[in-house]
Structure 1
């Protein structure tokens, strides 16, 4: 029970942090919020992991550099989507990334049903028409592609670098990429105290607190159940958008979110069954996909 409460708290912290970051969009834009968030994450991870960058080989560097680029692109695309189509819809679209990884290479009817359910959910969510914000939908799908890339790269880098060295180094790369954004905002005089406060809050609530909480949670609950429970994030995002940003969703959009959540839960359940069966080969991602915090 404590593990479930902690997972809900971690997920809520993540989405509340995203909502706080949205309050700074008007002053510094999504790119500015992402820049501050990357600086906060790097300031926390570097002293903890203390990666010896001078000893990295090229075999370790190239996936780390790609992971840093994925961090930078994923956060910017997600925050841009939040700015254009709202928190709940953006996070729901982003969750198609781990779903795609879970279903990759699958040929079962259950997995096909999950894919069809997710597709139906997305169609209901975006409601294609003349008034659709296709750029917002596109950046949400780009965030999904980045999350899928994160899962694959994280496993590769994790096998080549011990502990937290990989995410710390990749976050530092991402922070360096956003340094020109911060300099440009400072020169333009747009880095006011309130905007920085919201962005720092986003970094703490969406990166630092959930990361620390998840380390404790994974000591209490199986990784497969943790991955399954991640499916609740789109619902938490929709609630955070409603309560903190006043983003009201229609019945059809809630139905779309529910379909995507059920598809993710079904895929995670199926993956757990495959892992538990000695007669079947392991899927691409054996454990539930961890939420990228950086």
Structure 2
């Protein structure tokens, strides 16, 4: 059951990103970022009292950077490609923290997949290099988010810490979003779609993952999380008409394989040994 909860979180997150990209033509990527983070912050503030600490400030900075650069990338390259490139962030971090040679092999395999993706995109044309660069920045912010989020988790700040960080991220992105979208940001139809994005990309994934991680081992969580590029490709094809080429799907498969291999890098714990929990190894991944 827990695996299906995480799978539901992955699918919800990527469909939320697909809906967010539909806002770009009306309020731009900065407006969509500000709207999603702002509504999500309000939702979390209702659930838990926001806590502002040094750790939450750092987490808020990484949330703003990760979401801002990712949405800007989505405005230039297909959803499945953007998520695949962004996945290099946590994958590379896992290899660096592990320092095992075989973990660098997985990162190398993922890099090969990214190179394959760079050859052709779904239309057969070359990928937008600025979009690729923005996705790489998002990958770096994702790795920073994992480290910052771990600090918040181990400090015992919980959902209140996440709520505080989300408020900071919303405050950082709102001025840029307003400058790009203006009063359009507050039109009822735009607010309704923004609420849908916040639900699919924040509220639902967080709730499902928190429930799943109570019983799910970190390695299993990582395997399911590695399916994010595939879920993104599915959402892009169904909602945005972004049909990837066979070459791009092959590159994506290499990155997914690398993610699964990295997640399974630890040997199973002996019987009777408690499983390590999410505060130590994995965290929900907002995009």
TM-score for both structures, normalised by structure 2 = 0.88
What's 1:50 paired with?
49
Q: State the alpha-carbon separation in 2 of the partners of residues 286 and 104 from structure 1.
A: 18
What's 1:99 paired with?
91
For the Cα contact (< 8 Å) 1:49–1:163, is it kept in 2?
A: no
For the Cα contact (< 8 Å) 1:87–1:238, is it kept in 2?
A: yes
- 1:134: Cα distance to partner? 0.9
For the Cα contact (< 8 Å) 1:120–1:256, is it kept in 2?
A: yes
**Runs of 4 or more consecutive aligned structure 1 residues displaced over 6 Å after TM superposition:** none
Structure 2 vs 1, CA of residues 31 and 116 (structure 1 numbering), >3 Å: closer, same or farther? same
Cα distance per residue 1:134-174 (max 9 Å; x no partner): 11001101111011001111112223343222211111101
Gapped regions of structure 1 (runs ≥ 5): 54-59, 278-284
What's 2:4 paired with?
5
What's 2:206 paired with?
211
For the Cα contact (< 8 Å) 1:28–1:191, is it kept in 2?
A: no
What's 1:88 paired with?
80
**Pairwise mapping of residues 113-128 of structure 1 onto structure 2 (< 5 A)?**
113-127=105-119
Gapped regions of structure 2 (runs ≥ 5): 271-277
Structure 1 vs Structure 2 CA RMSD? 2.6
Structure 2 vs 1, CA of residues 186 and 88 (structure 1 numbering), >3 Å: closer, same or farther? closer
- 1:187: Cα distance to partner? 4.0
What's 1:184 paired with?
179
What's 1:260 paired with?
255
Aligned residue among 148, 151, 156 for 1:156: 151
**Pairwise mapping of residues 176-255 of structure 1 onto structure 2 (< 5 A)?**
176-184=171-179, 187=182, 189=184, 191-255=186-250
TM-score for both structures, normalised by structure 1 = 0.86
Aligned: 1:36 with 2:35: yes
